[in-house]
Chain A
Amino acid sequence: MRKTPIVVAVSCALLLSAAGARAQGAGRPIVVASKPFGESYLLAEMFAQLLESRGFNVERRPGLGATEIAFAALRTGAIDVYPEYTGTGLVAILHDTLPDAVAADPRAVFAHVSQRFEDAYQTRWLPPLGFENTYAIAVTKTTARRFHLSTLSDLARESPHLTAGFTADFIGRSDGLVGLSRVYGLRPRAVRPLAPAVKYQALASGAVDVIDGYSTDGLLARYDLVTLVDDRHFFPPYEAAALVSQQLERDSPSAIATLTLLSGRLDVQTMRQLNRRVEVDGEDVKRVGSDELRALGLVGGKQPTPGARSSVQRSSFWSYLWDRRATIFSLTMRHLLLVAIALAAAVIVAVPLGLGLERARRVAEPAIGTLGVLQTIPSIALLAFMIPLLGVGVTPALIALWLYALYPIARGTYSGVRDADPDAVAAAEALGTTPRQRLLWVRLPLAAPVIMAGIRTAAVITVGAATLAAFIGAGGLGEPIVAGLALADTRMILSGALPAAVLALAVDGLLAVVEGLIAPAHRRQRLWERHDRLTSPGGASG
């Protein structure tokens, strides 16, 4: 009986790793990934559909953290292909600077980057897709008129009067704000880090004056913005291309040939239009991707009926959820599995740890303090640290979640056992109980409510943190949240966030029942006593 939870946890772990092993085995699917923004989702979806149309087995891992996470995943072979940009490869991965003459020429940059990637990382750039997507520093028309802005030099001149809203990625990158400040002398009054999904709204509402966009963003057109000219040619060319893992190149030349079919087929106008359909009109990425592949004649099948598009828009949020119920259910189950395994493993480690520390009190506070410091590492950073060690997917996510769950449980166990009724413990000792008997008969039962409080805290934290596991491809309810953030799709975000909230409440409620069952007998009895008083007055007076 007592071993049941452990058995369940272990078999769940086996189940998950078996699922992982299947992906690694013979005839394994090609793993197509993307970074967490709309265009990347769309291109990855097109890669995936193109491969599927030629009979390849494909697994989708969209929305991987950011450049570092996606590229680490590619290098470790956790994914096989994702869309990347030459400028990003040059600056963010290679950390190279090129002579101006070379940097200005997209062909030369592509040649340089693909050669260096081949040498340094054994990963291959397929020929570019045909469009550039550079950073577009944008302001509203009103701001442009008021401050006479048309170039980045103009912006630098007026920047002390302006508030910038940039993505965190852009703020930190040397081909982002750092370089802009160096080259143009850009010094905004304030810089607000903004999520990609909200920056256009922030600009439109006047909360910020200038944002970083992508030149192919569908939203640039929607909000009627002015893109400032890069008059000193600071930004390198950002040509989009498929970046392919070494093993895919080695194992499946036909897949490479298939992916190359898209090279040179997408121009800037097409891409803007497609992005607009995804980001502005809220159309399904799958559908937009397949439309375009058909239009390019790369896959067969009849053209979709026009008009079906807008019906998606009109359907209510609840019917949207209802339509996706199967997906949401399976994501919820996966989420629950992640939480259950991480939490069970944390209980197995942290409860004995707390008990051990209670016997070695000198090291207890430093040890628990160290676990507490882990708690302060932002989840996304912890997940990023895991990638070089463990790749992407379920394993690093489980370990990160496990680390987060350790602290509340160890703290609860330590404090609970340390502070358990000192008089009772002292009397039990004086009457000849062994330390083990005191632990099992007195201290653990009396500490149970405090230990359970720690476990419940850990459970709720884990349900929340597990949504971030989607950034490293572990799945779960974070998947629609990450995708929704990337595609500025509120309904999609909520279709992950709402079930996650419900799950947190449900898990906490379930553990509350467990807590009631293992509460010390006199506390449980008090509940009955209350009941007795209601039914038979004076039942417990004495």
Chain B
Amino acid sequence: MRKLWRSSTQWGAACTLKCMPTPLSARNVSHRFGNVIALENVSVEVAAGQATALVGESGSGKTTLLRCFNRLIEPEEGDILVGDKNVRTESAVLLRRGIGYVQQLGGLLPHWRVLRNVALVPVLQERSDAEDAAREALELVGLPAAQFGPRFPHELSGGQRQRVALARSIAARPGVILLDEPFGALDAISRSELQQSFDDLRRRLSVTTLLVTHDLAEAGRLAEQVVVMRKGRIEQRGSMRDLVHAPATDYVAHLIERARAGLEALVS
């Protein structure tokens, strides 16, 4: 197995850039941790190839909802559909291999070189072109494979590590990618650069995207649909324009006001 990413197979003839985008759907989902309500009758639809952002404070249930889609959490009630399949009937392991995932602190395996990290899912799928897929994914996130592939994660900057995590999540060309505060731990410049790269990338791949963030501006920049959550319920769902012009609740209005104040503080 180790041989796989040491051998120098010819680069990428069989790779197709686009994948089949998959719609996502959560229907009347409820979940509790002990006595604490994490999700209460939540429904969200993400159209194939579109991006949706879940926005809210810590404890709003946004991460819990995200983790329902790859069965890291089994909700007590309601249905989760990935494409036309109810995730409950799927093998969790196989389901996850078909869904990209990026978490806040990358979660790269520190003892594996970058190329091997990126090749993880294709290898799990026992694809013979795993190494080529990994190289291509690295190039897609702006890291030349020849230069970065042989390095260890600790030899990269924080932004580069997040790019590698992104490459790893798309190396197997999933139809869906889930991102949990992917840029939250980065400095402002890296974050902005990475947001731009990611936006380009997901449009190019037309991959269905579900993004968790506490940053309303990031949500507006990256997603067609924004879902504001609070205490396990949905406050409002719509485009950023809808939220700004017609906030459904005081809480949404307050969030928008705060984001606007932050921006104005910058220019004044």
Contact = CB atoms under 8 A, between A and B. Distances in A.
Interface stretch (A53-61, A439-447, A469-477): A439-447
A429 B107 CA distance: 10
A430 B95 CA distance: 10
A437 B70 CA distance: 18
Interface stretch (A360-368, A409-417, A506-514, A518-526): A518-526
A423 B101 CA distance: 13
Interface of B: 70, 72, 93-98, 101, 103, 105-113, 120-121, 124, 148, 151-157, 160, 165, 168-169
A424 B108 contact: yes
A431 B101 contact: yes
Contacts of B157: 542
Given A430-B70, A430-B72, A441-B109, A525 B156 contact: no
A434 B108 contact: no
A428 to B, nearest CB: 7
Interface string A414-456: 0000000101101111111110010001100110000000000
A373 interface: no
A431 B108 contact: no
12 contacts: A423-B103, A423-B105, A423-B106, A427-B106, A427-B109, A431-B120, A432-B93, A432-B96, A433-B93, A522-B110, A522-B111, A542-B156
A429 B113 CA distance: 19
A426 B107 contact: yes
Contacts of B101: 427, 430-431
Contacts of B155: 540, 542
Contacts of A522: 110-111, 152-154
A534 B151 CA distance: 19
Max chain A Cβ within 10 angstroms of own Cβ: one of B110, B153, B168: B110
A427 B112 CA distance: 13
B148 to A, nearest CB: 8
A428 B112 CA distance: 12
Contacts of A434: 93
A427 B93 contact: no
Contact of A431 (B113, B124, B156): B124
A521 B111 contact: yes
Contacts of A523: 111
Given A430-B70, A446-B111, A542-B155, 15 more contacts: A423-B106, A427-B103, A427-B108, A427-B109, A428-B120, A429-B72, A430-B103, A431-B121, A432-B95, A432-B97, A432-B121, A432-B124, A442-B109, A520-B111, A542-B151
A95 to B, nearest CB: 60
B120 A424 contact: no
Max chain B Cβ within 10 angstroms of own Cβ: one of A434, A522, A542: A522
Contacts of B97: 431-432
Nearest to B112: A521
A445 B108 CA distance: 14
A428 B121 CA distance: 9
Contacts of A542: 148, 151, 155-157, 160
B152 to A, nearest CB: 4
A424 B95 CA distance: 19
Contacts of B110: 421, 424, 446, 520, 522
B107 A428 contact: yes
A430 B96 contact: yes
Interface string A95-137: 0000000000000000000000000000000000000000000
Nearest to A442: B109
Nearest to A525: B152
Contacts of B113: 521
Nearest to B104: A423
Contacts of B93: 432-434
Contacts of B120: 428, 431, 433
Nearest to A429: B72
Nearest to B148: A542
A96 B70 CA distance: 76
- Top 3 nearest A-B pairs (CB, nearest first) are A427-B107, A432-B97, A432-B96
A434 B101 CA distance: 16
Contacts of B98: 432
A424 to B, nearest CB: 5
Max chain A Cβ within 10 angstroms of own Cβ: one of B94, B97, B105, B156: B105
B111 A426 contact: no
A523 to B, nearest CB: 8
A199 B121 CA distance: 71
Nearest to A426: B107
Given A431-B168, A525-B152, A445 B70 contact: no
B137 to A, nearest CB: 13
